[in-house]
Amino acid sequence: MSDATLTPARVALVGNPNTGKTALFNALTGSRQKVANYAGVTVERKEGHVTTASGRSLSILDLPGTYSLRARSPDEAVTRDAVLGRLAGEVEPDVVVAVADATNLRLVLRLILELRAVGRPMVLALNMYDIAQRQGLRIDLEGLQRELGCPIVTTVATRKRGIDELTAQVEALIASGAVSTENVWHEPGAAEIRGAHREAQRLLKAYVRPPERPDTITGKVDAVLLHPVAGLAILFSLLFLMFQAVFTWAAPAMDAINALAEWLGVVVNQNLPEGLLRSFIAEGVIAGVGSVLVFLPQILVLFFFIILLEDFGYMARAAFLMDRIMGGAGLHGRAFIPLLSSFACAIPGIMSTRVIDNKRDRIATILVAPLMTCSARIPVYTLIIGAFIPDTKVWGLSLQGLVMFGLYAAGIISALAVSFVTRRVFWRGAVEPFLMELPTYKLPSLENVARNVLLRAQIFISRAGRIIFPLMIVVWFLSTFPGPPAGATGPAIDYSLAGRLGHLLAPLLAPIGFNWQMTVALIPGFAAREVAVAALGTVYAIGEADSAAGGALSAQLAHNWSLATGLSFLAWYVFAPQCASTLAVVKRETNSWTWPTVMFLYMTALAYLASFTVYHVAVSMAGG
Amino acid sequence: MHDMLAEPAGAAAAQADGSVRLSAARPGDRGVIVSVGADTHPDAHGVDSDELLRRLLEFGFVEGALIEVLHEGAIRHDPIAVKLDDMRVALRRRDAEDVWVRLESR
């Protein structure tokens, strides 16, 4: 048996969505989890380890939820290929654990029939068994076990019940020498799906007695949450609350991260001799990493809400309510969550488009996600609004606040418009069908929510770090080399590659009212939008300008720029693809240079057009 | 009034056996699915008819299933949420056009 303890047995979790599969994975593996990507595809690979009571090591793979092995999305294709043992770079599983919601067996029975055709040793985990018992649902486990030909274990993942029995059963299956039988699975046709449903119906009738006290809460809650008027009102109130929370709860943590980065910069500046190394560490590494990490608190708050609502069962309802509204612009109802996440940062938003089955629907969503006003634009907006928009009230509302709101609205409206045009002009034809299970409402387990939020954070840091960090180095290099000649009077950046590039581009951007200082600041602004604020500080030689407060800078800008130029700069920032990281993530997610190129071109064109219009309208109004 | 003019299959014309298209059903309507298809408007779904048919079947829209329309969206009464046997499913009326339901008399 020494061999068995050395190589862990491979177990794959397969099941419908909303069956508590991830909760079961968490209960099995605890903190012994690892998240990566499958080779060649951008689907998350979640693996964990568990040691059984008898000391055997199992490696557990949490496969994406699916209703059928006939995969439609990249996620579902991974599940199919993993089960079939034909996923590049993966070894086929020794045992498949089919995870089922004990209160909702019909569709999973059909999936189990498909899995049985694959022929791998299988254990059925009837999860949420406590709810089934509370409802008075009776399942003849013996009979079902006999019919399906696989052992059945009842579990309550959120309370960690049945976990040892499950691992023991998996172990027993391996010890019994169960091996895969011949794989006779093929993509089922309509007639076969009908046949499988009849078989599932027969099994249900023979071995499951319907609940004596069926769930009535879901129906009552839906009567309110899916109400055409009240439902939408509640959805928008929830969104409003989420935004409030994203901006207010995250603020102290963001301030702390900024302060920490500044403090580290000061420490480095005091302790290292002046020179390239100091500049690299303080301005390249610390400022670069800080400018990414500063969004982490907002992303955590946003994901806390999204995961909480998801576990509660609300997100499918939100997609239902939004489907027709977004459908008018040619977007799929499921694009709602990715676009929502993009208000914090387009990167997690683009990463979460993986839930959209159809490639065109997904790419349409990816293309418009950066038009949602991400938090990185806020420092730029605040600076320019503070400098050019008078702090007065219009109809009792702050004019500055109204402009800010207008910039958000411009982003949303243009995203819908771009998607609309894309679907009408380039991809004519109907949007994919919208078929979605509305799961029964469940009280979320705080432990699971916390674990998933931390997981999201970990993914954001590692992925963003791998993409953003090298980019920050490139931008630092461009803004630093070559250094100013001896006796130079202007700011150092003026002599660097970035400065020269800025001067080179200046004539191109002159028609939209940009001066060369602005063009130069745009170059480092490609690393991350808010870096432009610090860069403007550098070009206007404010010295160690505080990028957050920017009081002095604001006054300087008000003095140097015309109102038209200020407004033109705002318009530019609504549209411009001023974020190299987003483009890099789009490249990764679409696995092609086509889409980042398309995104860059269309956003630059829109930005130029918008700035040009705003600048000339403003000039003519001021001149008239 | 229920705005059926916008719907692809026209009015809620009943079959000889009294069944109606699911795309024309109203909240509160309940009955048994008598036939499932997807071919009246093959180009209206973004996927071909066979694919839509299989997706409908996979979600449990099969002959003999009990169905009740629970809710509908605010714009053009679309999409709809139905109770299908013992689970709840949301779908667009356009894709439910060839699902025929024999309604229970209310």
Instruction: Annotate A450-494 with DSSP letters as a single string.
Output: HHHHHHHHHHHHHHHHHHHHHHHHHHHHHHHSSPPPTT--S-GGG
Listed in sequence order, the residues at least 6 apart from A453 whose beta carbon sits closer than 8 Å to its beta carbon are: A300, A303, A304, A307
Provide the pLDDT for residue A147.
94
pLDDT score of A544: 43
SS3 A87: coil
In our burial notation (b when 16+ CB lie closer than 10 A, e otherwise), range A87-124 reads: beebebbbbbbbbbbbbbbbbbbbbbbbbbbbebbbbb
Omega within 30 of 0 (cis) for the link into A8: no
- Kindly state whether residues A207 and A108 are assigned to the same domain: yes
Reference A351, options A439, A245, A248, A466; nearest CA is A466
Q: Which two tokens stand for residue B41?
A: 């408007």
Residues of B with Cβ-Cβ distance to A200 under 8 angstroms: none
Q: Are residues A204 and A267 in the same domain?
A: no
Largest Cα–Cα distance in chain B? 35
With a CB-CB cutoff of 8 Å, which residues 207-246 of chain A face chain B? 210, 214, 218-219, 222-223, 226-229, 231-232
pLDDT beyond 70 at B12: no
pLDDT at B24: 94
The whole-number pLDDT of residue B1 equals 40
Give per-residue pLDDT as tens, A265-324.
Answer: 888 888 888 778 887 887 777 776 776 677 788 778 888 988 899 889 998 999 899 888
Contacts of A319 in chain B (CB under 8 A): 90
**Position A76 in a domain:** yes
Mind listing the pLDDT tens digit for each residue in A330-352? 888 888 888 988 887 888 889 88
Q: What residue has token string 């299970």?
A: A437
Number of domains forming the structure of chain B: 1
Residue A369 is given by DSSP the state G
Closest CA to A575 of A383, A315, A380: A380
**Same domain, yes or no: A454 and A475:** no
A440 domain-assigned = no
A473 shares a domain with A459: no
CATH of the domain at A61: 3.40.50.300
Cβ contacts (< 8 Å) between B44 and chain A: which residues? 430
Q: State phi, psi for B34 to the nearest 5 degrees.
A: -105, -25
Structural domain for A588, as ranges: 469-623
Kindly determine whether residue B63 and residue A194, on different chains, have CB atoms separated by under 8 Å: yes
Does A220 map to a domain?
no
Residues A459 and A501 placed together within one structural domain of the fold: no
* ipTM tops the 0.95 cut: no
Question: Are A222 and B70 inside 8 Å of each other by CB?
Answer: yes
Is residue A580 within 8 A of residue A526, CB to CB? The reply is yes
- Provide the pLDDT for residue B16: 66
- The alpha-carbon gap from A603 to the nearest alpha carbon of chain B, in Å, equals 27
Which residues of chain B make contact with A201, given a CB cutoff of 8 A? 64
**Pick from A201, A323, A430: which is nearest to B46 by CB?**
A430
Taking CB atoms and an 8 Å limit, are B64 and A201 in contact across chains? yes
Which of A110 and A242 is assigned the larger pLDDT? A110
CB atoms B57 and A429 under 8 Å = no
In a domain, B2, yes or no: no
How many independent structural domains does chain A possess? 3
CATH number at residue B76: 2.30.30.90
What is the DSSP secondary-structure string of A169-201? Answer: HHHHHHHTT------------HHHHHHHHHHHH
Cα A555 to Cα A550: distance, rounded to the nearest angstrom: 9
Closest CA to A556 of A548, A566, A564: A566
Residue A222 inside a domain? The answer is no
Helix (H, G, I), strand (E, B) or coil at B64: coil
Are A188 and A270 in a shared domain? no
Both A133 and A10 in one domain: the answer is: yes
Residue B27 within any structural domain of the chain = yes
Chain B residues with beta carbon closer than 8 angstroms to that of A189: 54
The encoded tokens of residue A209 equal 């007695």
Q: Is A186 on the interface with B (CB under 8 A)?
A: no
List the single best residue of B23, B41, B54 to mutate versus A (max A Cβ within 10 A): B54
- Ranges assigned E (strand) in A356-459: 393-394, 397-398, 435-437
Instruction: Tell me which residues of chain B, numbers 14 to 43, contact chain A at a CB-CB cutoff of 8 Å.
Output: 43
Question: What pLDDT score does A545 carry?
Answer: 39
- C-beta separation of B100 from B20 below 8 A: yes
Quote the pLDDT of residue A495: 80
Q: Please check the confidence at residue A185 and state whether its pLDDT lies above 60.
A: yes
Instruction: Evaluate if residue B4 carries a pLDDT over 60.
Output: no
A518/A536 same-domain check: yes
Question: Taking all residues of chain A, what is their mean pLDDT, rounded to a whole number?
Answer: 86
Cα angle A555, A244, B73 (rounded to 5 degrees) comes to 130
Contact of B62 with chain A, judged by CB distance below 8 Å, is answered with: yes
Same domain, A255 and A169: no
In a domain, B34, yes or no: yes
Q: Please check whether residue A399 lies inside any domain of the structure.
A: no
Q: What is the pLDDT of residue A292?
A: 66
Q: Across residues A412-426, what is the average pLDDT?
A: 88
Report the residue from B55, B79, B86 with minimal CB separation from A323: B79
Q: How far is CA B40 from CA A367, A389, B92, in A?
A: 33, 57, 15
Tokens of A59: 């490696």
- Is B9 domain-assigned? no
Which residue of A190, A316, A439 is in closest CB contact with B57? A190
Q: Which residues does A2 contact at the CB level (< 8 Å), separation at least 6?
A: none
Q: Between B47, B75, B90, which is nearest A438 by CB?
A: B90
Whether A437 is covered by a domain: the verdict is: no
Query: Residue A17: which H helix or E strand, with range?
Result: none
Q: Which residue has the tokens 């069962």?
A: A313
SS3 assignment, position A297: helix
**Interface contact B55-A201, CB threshold 8 A:** no
Average pLDDT over residues A397-409: 85
Which residue on chain A is closest to B89 by alpha carbon? Answer: A437
Same domain, A319 and A177: no
Query: Is B50 in the A-facing interface, judged by CB distances under 8 Å?
Result: yes
Q: Where are the alpha helices (DSSP H) in A374-398?
A: 377-388
Q: Are residues A458 and A415 in the same domain?
A: yes
The reply to whether A283 and A422 lie within a common domain is yes
Q: Is residue B1 part of a domain?
A: no
A304 in any annotated domain: yes
Confidence of residue B6 (pLDDT cuts 50, 70, 90): very low
Instruction: List C-alpha distances in Å: A187 to A116, A434, B39.
Output: 14, 21, 21
Instruction: List, in sequence order, every residue forming a beta bridge with A580; answer none if it has no partner.
Output: none
Contact flag A228-B64 (C-beta cutoff 8 Å): no
DSSP H helices in chain B: 49-58
Indicate yes or no: CB of B71 within 8 angstroms of CB of A188. no
Confidence of residue A614 (pLDDT cuts 50, 70, 90): very high
Q: How confident is the model at residue B5 (pLDDT cuts 50, 70, 90)?
A: very low
**Domain-located, residue B58:** yes
Chains A & B: contacts with CB separation below 8 Å = 126
Indicate the residue of B70, B71, B88 with minimum beta-carbon distance to A437: B88
User: Who wins on pLDDT, A501 or A225?
Assistant: A225
Give the contacts of A375 (CB within 8 A, at least 6 positions apart).
A295, A298, A343, A344, A345
Q: Is the pLDDT of residue A543 over 80?
A: no
Instruction: State the Cα–Cα distance between residues A333 and A335, nearest whole angstrom.
Output: 5
SS3 category, A496: coil
Name every chain B residue with its beta carbon within 8 A of the beta carbon of A423. Answer: none
For the stretch A581-591, pLDDT in tens is: 889 889 888 88
Inspect the interface and report whether the beta carbons of A435 and B47 lie closer than 8 Å. no
Residue B75 placed within a domain: yes
DSSP code, position A8: P
- Whether B31 is covered by a domain: the verdict is yes
Give the domain range for residue B39: 19-103
B75 CB neighbours in chain A (<8 A) are: 324-325, 328
Does B54 touch chain A if contact means CB atoms closer than 8 Å? yes
End-to-end alpha carbon distance in chain B: 19
* Chain A CB within 8 Å of residue B52 CB: yes
**Cα–Cα dist A127/A107, whole Å:** 14
